[in-house]
Amino acid sequence: MLEVANIREQCSWIHKDKATATEKAIILGRAAIAKVQLNAPLTAGESPVVKRALVIGGGIAGIQTALDIAEAGFDVDIVEKQPTIGGKMAQIDKTFPTLDCAACILTPKMVECSQNEKVHIYAYSEVEEVKGFVGNFTVKIKKKARYVDENKCTGCGDCTTKCPMKNVPNEFNLGLDTRRAVYIPFAQAVPKVATIDPNYCNMLKNGKCGLCAKVCGAGAIDYKQKDQYIEEQYGAIVVATGYNPIKLDKFEEFGYSLSKDVVTSLELERLMNAAGPTGGTLLRPSDGKHPHTIVFVQCVGSRDTSGCGKPYCSKICCMYTAKHAMLIREKYPDTEVYVFYIDVRTPGKNFDEFYRRAVEQYGVHYIKGMVGKVAPRANGKIMVQASDLLMDEQLHIEADLVVLAAAIEPDKSARPLATMLTASMDTNDFFTEAHPKLRPVESPTAGIFLSGVCQGPKDIPETVSQASAAAAKVIGLLVKDKLTTNPCVAHCNELMCNGCSSCERVCPYGAITYSDKEFRMPDRTTQLRRVASVNPAVCQGCGACTVACPSGAMDLNGFSNSQIMAEVDAICQK
């Protein structure tokens, strides 16, 4: 039996007056004694562990986590909502600070995922429902209809060239070019399987066409395919849902919606990528001409306390902007590049050196100051009004292309997912970690782990290290055959329970279930009553149910009603 009277941090260290501090220490001691007298032995329970992990999100974070888990010999499933894994990294051209090609380092990992027999990919799928608890989650996965049989499709791409619906915006290239209604997002997609977009396909919409079925040599096209639901058991779940750039419609001053030549940094990645809409030549989206003056605007929506954007720093923008500026100056030395920044933040190995190179070696004009207005001109130029805070002067730059470093935000699917997982989130929809310093890859909900930007903005190296860390945590969990559970759990006094479900409704873990039980009543009759029972393996011991229970049938081990009241009494005693 143990109780602690906190007389150091909460007494002697704060109260200067010895007499009052001593008096308080006595009271705190008295309260602890009152509580310990009512202590009951706590016994931890045990629960089995299902030796399979689920990774939600198939970007670099999810891929790395899955591969590491598989490496340790455990089965792991990746659920990816897009038709292919790869995530944002697949869209990126080059990576900082080494400037190697993103696809070159990512695609081998994607292929490894598809070939590792321990890894199973549910692409074009979403998590629908999560039940259970650490070591024993039951997850319902919705496999959306592709209208293409994954097992038959060879990925030859014949259908994607024959489809008559040509003007579908290509989301992989962020709408900078078009694709067909049946498509493979990019050449190295995994799984390399075509997908029919039901929003554009004439056959699915109107029942007319059927061209793709005719050209498909493998006979893989299936217009009657339905969404499929799969239920699977997992011991651990890793969240790797990633991010998106924010929408810029609230930032009218930057003219994003006014001119095609005001682009986001991610769009610039595609414009510079060899597999992108321009085949790797940097051209203005409006007229296809070479831009000669390019203005980069940093912190668009980041560190924004006005309410339009995000209050946090998106962390990666300083570095990728330096990368973009450097690449442009390298490839097109006749181009003037201006970067407007609030601060340049370059913490990371070789990061500051990288930024210094951009400034010193590549002659990128870094100007401390914020852009006030971006206005397209009739002559196709874009007028950028800005202030140079160091020189204290107003600048007017006539640019050909403006690149906005839009803030990043967690993917919209994260919030409903957090609810399903009962994992907590902060006000910005980033998942919270169990401890900001000491348990950074675990969610406070046992058995839920965090990988990548879903936990907070980070770059690729950091994402990969966190992904591996999460994998290590998962492996540590899965190697156990049984888990000891928290002994401070709620329990129900069935004789007093009304079966009213009040506790069930407040339990964040679904730990409370009801059953009809036979009771021998004092008048020697037998009665069937609906009573609650707590699954000690699931209960985390928050105590919400104990307060919700109208009859006081629920109590919490280690923090029982009588114990807390004894403390109250002891404290208030004269």
Partner 1 sequence: MQGMMIARAKELLQDGTVNRVLGWQAGEFAYDITPAVFETAEELDAGFVYNAFCGNNLSKYLIKETKKDGKVLVFLKPCDTYSFNQLLTEHRFDREKVYAIGIPCEGKTSGEMLKAKGVSGITGIDEDGDSITVHTVYGDQGFNRSDVLEERCLTCKSKKHVAYDELIGEDGEVLDSHRFDMVAKLEAMTPDERFAFWRSQLSKCIRCNACRNVCPACSCEKCVFDNPESGIAQKAAADSFEENMFQIIRAFHVAGRCTDCGECSRA
Partner 2 sequence: MLKISLSKIQDLFAAIAADEALYIPADHAGQPEFMRWEAGMQMADALNTVRSAKDFFFPQTENLVTFKMQGQKIDIIDPRSETEDFVVFGVRACDVRSFSILDRVFLVDPVDSYYENRRKHGTIVSMACSKPAETCFCHSFGIDAAEPEGDAVCWKTEDALYIRANTEKGEKLIEKLRPVLEEADDAPVKAQQEQTRAIQEKLPLNSFTTEKFGGDVLLKVFNSDKWASLSEACLGCGTCTFVCPTCQCYDIRDFKTGSGVQRFRCWDSCMYSDFTLMASGNPRTSQKERFRQRFMHKLVYFPANNDGIYGCVGCGRCLSKCPISMNIVKVAKCLEGEL
Partner 3 sequence: MPEVNAYKPKIVAFCCNWCSYAGADLAGTNRLNYPADVKIIRVPCSCRVNPMFILRAFQRGADGVILCGCHPGDCHYTTGNYYARRRMTLLFSMLDYLGIEKERTRVEWVSAAEGAKFAATMNEFVSTVAALGENKRLEDLRCKE
- In the complex, which residues of this chain contact partner 1 (CB under 8 A)? 495-502, 514, 527, 529-530, 550-553, 561-562, 565
230 closest CA partner among 379, 382, 127: 127
**Bond preceding residue 97 cis, omega within 30 of 0:** yes
**Taking the complex as a whole, how short is the minimal distance between the CB of residue 491 and partner 1, in angstroms?**
14
Residue 544: name its binding partner from partner 2, partner 3, partner 1, none (Cβ under 5 to 8 Å by kind).
partner 3
- Report whether 158 contacts 217 (CB < 8 A): yes
> Binding pattern to partner 3, positions 506-535, x when CB under 8 A?
x-xx--------------------------
426 is written with which tokens? 């902060």
Residue 556, interface with partner 3 (CB under 8 A)?
yes
Q: In angstroms, rounded to a whole number, what is the distance separating the alpha carbons of residues 313 and 454?
A: 14
Residue 101, interface with partner 3 (CB under 8 A)?
no
Q: Which residues of 69-108 are buried (b: 16+ CB within 10 A; e: fewer)?
A: bbebebbbbbbbbbbbbbbbbbbbbbbbbeeeebbeebbe
Residue 16: name its binding partner from partner 2, partner 3, partner 1, none (Cβ under 5 to 8 Å by kind).
partner 3
Q: Which stretch binds partner 3 (CB under 8 A): 19-27, 111-119, 273-281, 369-377?
A: 19-27
Interacting residues of 527 by C-beta distance below 8 A, sequence separation 6+: 518, 519, 521
DSSP type of residue 357: I
- Determine which residue in the list 136, 445, 451, 468 makes contact with partner 3, applying CB under 8 A: 445
- Determine which residue in the list 479, 495, 521, 565 makes contact with partner 3, applying CB under 8 A: 565
DSSP type of residue 46: E
Residue 208, interface with partner 3 (CB under 8 A)?
no
- Determine which residue in the list 188, 432, 493, 533 makes contact with partner 3, applying CB under 8 A: 432
Contact positions with partner 2 (CB under 8 A) in 503-562: 521-524
Residue whose entry in the numeric block shows the structure tokens 């990061």 = 351
72 closest CA partner among 471, 480, 483, 481: 471
Q: Which stretch binds partner 3 (CB under 8 A): 4-12, 66-74, 217-225, 227-235?
A: 4-12
78 closest CA partner among 120, 111, 38: 120
Write a three-state SS string for 111-163.
HHHHHCCCEEEECCEEEEEEEEECCEEEEEEEECCCCECCCCCCCCCHHHHHC
- Report whether 507 contacts 549 (CB < 8 A): no
Q: Which is nearer to partner 3, 301 or 541 (CB)?
A: 541
**Bond preceding residue 191 cis, omega within 30 of 0:** yes
Q: In angstroms, rounded to a whole number, what is the distance separating the alpha carbons of residues 191 and 482?
A: 35
Q: Which is nearer to partner 2, 307 or 522 (CB)?
A: 522
Residue 524: name its binding partner from partner 1, partner 3, partner 2, none (Cβ under 5 to 8 Å by kind).
partner 2
Residue 21: name its binding partner from partner 3, partner 2, partner 1, none (Cβ under 5 to 8 Å by kind).
partner 3
Residue 436, interface with partner 2 (CB under 8 A)?
no
Which amino acid, 149? D
Residue 498: name its binding partner from partner 3, partner 2, partner 1, none (Cβ under 5 to 8 Å by kind).
partner 1
**Taking the complex as a whole, how short is the minimal distance between the CB of residue 524 and partner 2, in angstroms?**
8
Q: Which is nearer to partner 3, 346 or 424 (CB)?
A: 424
- Determine which residue in the list 19, 378, 438, 572 makes contact with partner 2, applying CB under 8 A: 572
Residue 114: name its binding partner from partner 3, partner 2, partner 1, none (Cβ under 5 to 8 Å by kind).
none
Residue 546, interface with partner 3 (CB under 8 A)?
yes
Residue 6, interface with partner 3 (CB under 8 A)?
yes
- Report whether 550 contacts 498 (CB < 8 A): yes
**Taking the complex as a whole, how short is the minimal distance between the CB of residue 501 and partner 1, in angstroms?**
6
**Taking the complex as a whole, how short is the minimal distance between the CB of residue 435 and partner 3, in angstroms?**
9
Residue 378, interface with partner 2 (CB under 8 A)?
no
Residue 514: name its binding partner from partner 3, partner 1, partner 2, none (Cβ under 5 to 8 Å by kind).
partner 1
Q: In angstroms, rounded to a whole number, what is the distance separating the alpha carbons of residues 202 and 214?
A: 14
Q: In angstroms, rounded to a whole number, what is the distance separating the alpha carbons of residues 341 and 359?
A: 13
**Taking the complex as a whole, how short is the minimal distance between the CB of residue 551 and partner 3, in angstroms?**
13
- Determine which residue in the list 9, 360, 516, 518 makes contact with partner 3, applying CB under 8 A: 9
**Taking the complex as a whole, how short is the minimal distance between the CB of residue 141 and partner 3, in angstroms?**
22
Q: Which is nearer to partner 3, 160 or 557 (CB)?
A: 557
- Determine which residue in the list 1, 21, 58, 227 makes contact with partner 3, applying CB under 8 A: 21
β-strands 293-300, 401-406 pairing = parallel
Interacting residues of 533 by C-beta distance below 8 A, sequence separation 6+: 492, 494, 512, 513, 514, 515
β-strands 490-492, 168-169 pairing = unpaired
How big is the site for partner 3, counted in residues (CB under 8 A)?
51
400 closest CA partner among 289, 297, 547, 300: 289
**Taking the complex as a whole, how short is the minimal distance between the CB of residue 573 and partner 2, in angstroms?**
4
Residue 523: name its binding partner from partner 3, partner 1, partner 2, none (Cβ under 5 to 8 Å by kind).
partner 2
- Report whether 495 contacts 473 (CB < 8 A): no
Residues lying near partner 3 in the complex (CB under 8 A): 6, 8-11, 13-17, 20-21, 23-24, 27-28, 31, 422-427, 432, 444-445, 488, 506, 508-509, 540-544, 546-548, 556, 558-559, 561, 564-565, 567-569, 571-574
Residues lying near partner 2 in the complex (CB under 8 A): 521-524, 569-570, 572-574
